Amino acid sequence: MASFLTTLLVVAIVATTPLVLAIPLIWIERKVAARIQDRLGPNRVGPWGIIQPIADAIKLIGKEDITPAGTDKVVYNLAPIVAVASVVLMWACIPFAPNLIGVDLEIGVLYIVSVASLGTMAIMMAGWSGNNKYALLGAFRVVAQLVSYEVPLVLSLLIPVLLAGSMGMQDIVTAQQGMWFIFMAPVAALIFFISAQAETGRAPFDLLEAESELVAGFNIEYSGMKFGLFFAGEFVHVLTNGVLIAHLFVGGWWGLGVSAEGGILSNVLGLIYLVIKTTIFYFISLWLRNTLPRVRIDQLMNFNWKFLVPISVANLVITSLLLKISQVAGFAVDLTTNASFTAALPMTLLLLGGNIALILGVIAIYGFNIRRDRVQEEAQAEAIAHAPSH
Amino acid sequence: MNILNQWGPIGLFMVFAIVLPAAPILVAAIFAPRKPNDIKLQTYECGVETVGDTWVQFKVQYYIYAIVFLVFDVEMIFLLPWAIAFNELSFFAFGAGFLFIFLLTDALVYAWRKQALEWH
Amino acid sequence: MVIPLWMYLIVAASIFSIGVFAVLARRNAVAVLMGIELMLNAVNVNLVAFWRYSTTDSSMGGQVFAAFLFVVAAAEAAVGLAIVIAVYRNRRSVIVEDVDMLRW
Amino acid sequence: MVVQYLAFVIFSAFAIIGAAMVVWSRNLVHSALFLVMSLFGVAGLFILLSAPFLAAIQVLVYIGAIAILIIFAVMLTRSMTAIREPFNAQSWLGAVIGAVLFVALVAGMILPVWGWGSLPTLPQSDVVGTTRDIGIALVSADGYVLPFEVASLLLTAAMVGAIVIARED
């Protein structure tokens, strides 16, 4: 009974954390966006407008909730719940510190990915139930985008799994004791970051909403709290991506003075390091959102299928090949047991070399293609200019 | 029970994950005003209200993207265990994984060459 | 006290029977395909249950077999639905009885 | 373990009721959503059977991909979502066959062989193979390396076939 109550408490805390975090996140997001756009942002309610999101939440509760005629009531009401639930569930096995984790599942990473894919279903439900053709079209575009970008996301996720030899989140973090995975697989980290950004549906990949051009996307028929929930889910998803990148590629809670065994000091320090790393990636994400222009849908799809996916497949091939070579040659270390900086260095250099070669190769191929296209265009223009007038 | 220790909390998590977003909706339903009228309940459209069910023809392109995604998703079933067991694999087993990836890349190349990945 | 094997088997059998009914009775081809997915799922439950309760075999055969069934289900769904879409494009119908060109 | 029984009952109810509603719903999108519910229940059963990897794959592949594919297909053949009569003329025959099959399976196979009469077979131990064991079994020469490659080939063929069939031109 006591153990059940402890579990209940842990689950309650871990499950509420993302939703509670959403409140300050809204403020941070608006403030950062305002600063980038040379505005002040919210500054009326409370010091620096810090109470603004709470005022927003109260406003949302007091707003009339309009359910348009012809909606499918059950699906319509279920969709925002599923959308938020998918994000909350992801937090079940995200570590906070060496000993602080909801549940350290053996299949941690796979669990996170599969729970995240429930969000796609929620969007489909939201778009369909509204009985509005724009919402439905919007949902189709979003779903096409989300499923497309899930491919490079999962393929690059495979690299940390490959290096750590485990899917458990704590195992992956522990394996980065001496060397962060970003040094072994910078390409995978970059692809993961880009496709995670696309998974949240934010700029430059926000053509599903395109706030400045369209009225809204799949959530057009939602109002009041239900709309707010979709929004909160998106905010938390961005933060979740930051945490995931911090864990998978830059060592999660590792830092100076943290030991894997734990202890109070390690846990506190680990949490602080994790917050710092997460904040950095979260900030980069906001920065991108507020500075990059929106892409067109054909550019979006081409970028994914003709750039990210081939590169992530090539990256997987190169990384696994080099890893196997270093294992056969005998200078690979088992990162789960012996992972000091010096021991991991030769392997890291080899993998880093492979990644640099991959980047150079990609640049060469795309540079060649672009040059060839330009030469062709110039030749065409030449031909038109010099064509006989009759 | 091993499996219950690990997944029991996840089950609790699911309950929380549903209750936490449902609660604000319920609270809003209690406090929010409710004064519906015909105009307010109209679907959000440009101009004239749609008659009957929503009726749009969709591009088959969405479906093709979904197929390619499905294939890569199913590929994960095999690549994840392969990646986990990587340290213990012989060179032969490693090559088997390579062949697997190669065969799937084939499908991608086919789709690319047939312009199935273009957005029309 | 552990859940006995036959409980899983009965659950699987009922899902399978419902799937059979869907395949035989529904008119819409997409619904028929959903019935097939249900049947495949029931088979998967059976496979994993037999693997878990097997007293002689300690290999991962059951799970690996189930993983292959996922592949089959995915391939079946992709091609089956593609056929439905193609038929719909040519004949403007997804009713199974309307597609009777092969009928003698 | 009462909790286990409770979980079993809940997941089975999800799976069976979902499956029944797949057949029963007139609206195909509802059918697809009930299919998701049923698949979710089956994922829960996988967890009870100590196969969490398969459960996660079930959610990822079935709910994340196949259900999406089905809804896309429903939308592409959209004028057909609300067919007045969802069941064909021989539906009674289908119902009879389904019922007979169920009774035959339960009374003819499951209960006599694995049910009351026989000794209750119990799982060997609580700790069963992990995902790593699946990986080793998949690619080792005395394991399933041939099916592994054939699966890849099947996927490739399915993708090529589906694209060829579904394309507009």
Whether B70 sits inside 8 A of C81 (CB atoms) is no
* Sequential pLDDT tens for chain C (104 residues): 578 888 889 999 999 999 999 999 888 888 999 999 999 999 999 998 888 887 665 677 888 889 999 999 999 999 999 999 888 888 877 787 777 777 76
Whether D138 sits inside 8 A of B110 (CB atoms) is no
Question: Is residue A362 predicted with pLDDT exceeding 60?
Answer: yes
Instruction: Tell me the mean pLDDT in the region A202-228.
Output: 75
Is residue A346 reached through a cis peptide bond, with omega within 30 degrees of 0 on the bond before it?
no
Overall number of domains in chain A: 2
Give residue A45's pLDDT band: very low, low, confident or very high (50, 70, 90).
Answer: confident
Instruction: Tell me the mean pLDDT in the region B6-22.
Output: 88
Residues A376 and A305 in one domain: yes
Task: Label residue A33 exposed, middle or buried (CB < 10 Å: 0-12, 13-18, 19+).
Answer: middle
Question: Which of D57, D84, D139 best probes binding to B when mutated, by most B CB atoms within 10 angstroms?
Answer: D139
How close, in Å, is residue C17 to chain B by CA atoms? 26
Q: What is the CA radius of gyration of chain D?
A: 20
- Give the three-state DSSP class for A222: coil
Q: Which residue type occupies C65?
A: F
Q: Provide, rounded to the nearest whole percent, the portion of chain A with pLDDT above 70.
A: 96
Specify the CATH number for B2-113; select among 1.20.58.1610, 1.20.1250.20, 3.60.15.10, 3.40.50.880: 1.20.58.1610
* CA distance linking residue B77 with residue A154, whole number of Å: 11
How do residues B51-95 score in pLDDT, each as one tens digit?
Answer: 555 555 677 888 888 999 999 999 888 899 999 888 888 888 888
For residue A168, is it within any domain? yes
Residues in chain A within 8 Å Cβ distance of B98: 317, 320-321
Most confident of A120-124, D83-87, D131-135, D142-146: A120-124
Whether A229 sits inside 8 A of B21 (CB atoms) is yes
How close, in Å, is residue D32 to chain C by CA atoms? 8
Residues in chain B within 8 Å Cβ distance of D69: 63, 66-67, 70
Residue numbers of A between 78 and 137 with CB closer than 8 Å to D: 105-107, 110-111, 113-115, 117-118, 120-121, 124-125, 128, 136
* CA distance linking residue B113 with residue B106, whole number of Å: 10
Q: Which domain holds residue A255?
A: 66-386
Q: Quick one: CATH architecture of D1-83?
A: Up-down Bundle (1.20)
Listed residues A33, A62, A91: the one ending a domain: A62
Q: What is the CA radius of gyration of chain C?
A: 17
How do residues A236-271 score in pLDDT, each as one tens digit?
Answer: 999 999 999 999 999 888 888 787 777 888 888 889
Give residue B1's pLDDT band: very low, low, confident or very high (50, 70, 90).
Answer: very low
| Residue of chain D whose alpha carbon sits nearest to that of C74 | D66
Give residue A211's pLDDT band: very low, low, confident or very high (50, 70, 90).
Answer: low
Domain ranges, ordered by start, for chain D: 1-83, 127-169
pLDDT at A338: 62
D82 has a chain C CB within 8 A of its CB: no
| Residue of chain B whose alpha carbon sits nearest to that of A83 | B21
Whether B63 sits inside 8 A of C71 (CB atoms) is no
Instruction: Tell me the mean pLDDT in the region B28-34.
Output: 82
Instruction: Tell me the mean pLDDT in the region A11-28.
Output: 87
Question: Is residue A315 predicted with pLDDT exceeding 90?
Answer: yes
pLDDT at C34: 93
Nearest residue to A242 via CA among A18, A16, A10, A11: A18
- DSSP H helices, chain D, are 2-24, 28-48, 52-57, 67-76, 91-103, 111-114, 131-139, 145-166
Residues in chain A within 8 Å Cβ distance of D52: 105-107, 111
pLDDT at A214: 62
pLDDT at C58: 62
Residues A101 and A169 in one domain: yes
Average pLDDT, chain A: 86
Alpha carbon A380 to its chain's center: 43
For A345-349, the CB contacts below 8 A with 24+ separation are A345/A179, A347/A184, A347/A323, A348/A179, A348/A183, A348/A184
Domain ranges, ordered by start, for chain C: 5-98
Q: Using an 8 Å Cβ cutoff, are A130 and A65 in contact?
A: no
How close, in Å, is residue D163 to chain A by CA atoms? 15
| Residue of chain A whose alpha carbon sits nearest to that of B46 | A134
Instruction: Tell me the mean pLDDT in the region A313-330.
Output: 89
Q: Is there contact between A and D if contact means ≥3 C-beta pairs under 8 Å?
A: yes
How close, in Å, is residue B84 to chain C by CA atoms? 15
Instruction: Tell me the mean pLDDT in the region D100-112.
Output: 84
How do residues B101-117 score in pLDDT, each as one tens digit?
Answer: 998 888 889 888 888 78
- For helices D91-103 and C5-25, the axis angle rounded to 10 degrees is 170
Q: Using an 8 Å Cβ cutoff, are A337 and A344 in contact?
A: no
Residues A104 and A192 in one domain: yes
pLDDT at A84: 92
Nearest residue to A147 via CA among B107, C70, D165, B68: B68
Residues in chain B within 8 Å Cβ distance of C78: 67, 70-71
Question: Is residue A323 predicted with pLDDT exceeding 70?
Answer: yes
Most confident of A66-80, A149-163, B54-68: A149-163
D134 has a chain A CB within 8 A of its CB: no
* Beta-bridge partner residues of A100: A97
For residue A351, is it within any domain? yes
Question: Which of B3, B6, B10 best probes binding to A when mutated, by most A CB atoms within 10 angstroms?
Answer: B10
How close, in Å, is residue C96 to chain B by CA atoms? 21
Domain ranges, ordered by start, for chain B: 2-113
Specify the CATH number for C5-98; select among 1.10.3720.10, 1.25.40.10, 1.10.287.3510, 1.10.3470.10: 1.10.287.3510
Whether D138 sits inside 8 A of B82 (CB atoms) is yes
